[in-house]
Amino acid sequence: MHGYGWSRRRFVGLLARSATAAAALPAAACGGPAGTRTPAGPPTAARASEGASGRERGASGPGPLLLGTYTSAEGGGKGIGLAEYEPGTGRITGHGLLAEVDDPSYLAVHPDGRTLYAVGEREAGAVTAVRLSDHRVLGSRSTGGAAPCHLSVHPGGRWLFSANYGSGSVAVHPIDASGALGERTHLVTHSTPPPGPGQQGPHAHQVVTAPDGGHVLAVDLGTDTVYTYRLDEDAGTLTEVARAQTRPGAGPRHLTFHPGGRHAYLANELDDTVAVCGYDPGTGRLTVGEAQSTGAGPGTNYPAQLLVTADGAYAFLANRGHDSLARYAVQARGARLRLLGTVPVGGDFPRHIAFSPDGGLLFAANQRSGTVAVFRVDADTGELRPTGEPFPSPVAVCALPL
């Protein structure tokens, strides 16, 4: 496709197998927000869902790899990149474009595996649906805000959530039977509390459904707050039920739940910390714990994203600046993180990390070096071992293996 000698029939077959394996499983997503901005200033942008690994693959052959970028950045891509990876070796082979979409910095797949969703991280924010079987763009919808940097699909498959970084709001769109998006049903703006130190306003950075399925949590870097909403699954509206505040100036960026559903882990971008959070599924209330080390040391570092293994034994953190992956042992049934050390990420500014569906590989999208690095994950020890050569991908900010 697009002059790369790619067999369209072969890729459609790969996607069909992935769709079959993904049916009735949580939506997959790649993760991390915002443009080419530096994290300290105005906006900056697992299993492959929001942080858990371990989905079973139906076949051991090559898997599709979808790549997000900034088309408006110097040296950026032309849209959503298309590649495949070998589960055994981690080797990535590029195959051009899946679709031409403006600034698709974050990607997520519907639970049935048939439709891909991408943000359009621009001033007039948008979300776009792409049918994977034939690469057809099913249309775009306005998010009602600026610079959407994150999106996720509700596990029921009927609603898409997106986070507008620039305007500090969360949008809800319906998903029809074809995978296409309808007009927005709700837009919630984070008007309180007031912005944290150094911030000019709210900056919604992530929106994700809790394991209980009924609560939706939005992480806002600008207000140092995680908002919990209850979703009306018939109307597609959100009602706030709780708030959890970090310490002032923490700049919370990304939240990942432990498989047990009672704890979550929060990456704080601006004060270079992580925190273990308690979570009550009945009320949706999150309780933020004490700040902990990212393993980056005294230099400048902006933690980006956390992943947790499917068995809940280990967690991994992408460190931008230190350019490393921190490894944690998860203890006390999710209530504690113990830092084991860090490993070099093999690139510059790891914006997003994701597990392969079987949890055996970890992909790191390195924004400034324009590469995707691959690591083998040792299920017993949590050790990470580089495998294969880093794959060149223009302004790599998202890598979504299927």
CA dihedral sign of residues 114, 305, 286, 341: positive
Burial classification of residue 31, based on how many CB atoms lie within 10 Å of its CB (0-12 exposed, 13-18 middle, 19 or more buried) = buried
Can you give the pLDDT at residue 75?
Answer: 95
Cis peptide before 26 (omega within 30 of 0): no
CA angle 259, 264, 270 (to 5 degrees): 145
Q: Splitting the chain (402 residues) into consecutive groups of 10 residues, what average pLDDT does each group show?
A: 38 54 55 36 34 47 96 97 96 97 98 98 98 97 98 98 98 98 98 95 98 97 98 98 98 98 98 98 97 96 98 98 98 98 98 97 98 97 94 98 97
Q: Tokens 């939506």 identify what position?
A: 27
The pLDDT assigned to 11 comes to 52
Predicted pLDDT of residue 13: 56
Q: 349 — alpha (psi -120 to 50), left (phi > 0) or beta? A: left
Q: How would you classify the pairing of strands 391-392 and 398-401?
A: unpaired
- CA 362 to each of CA 211, 315, 337, 386: distance values in angstroms, whole numbers, following the listed order: 22, 12, 19, 9
DSSP run (H or E) holding 22: helix 8-22
Residues contacting 135, CB < 8 A, separation 6+: 1, 98, 99
Spatial separation of the C-alpha atoms in residues 55 and 43, rounded to whole Å: 33
The predicted structure's pLDDT at residue 28: 73
φ and ψ of 377, to 5 deg: -100, 120
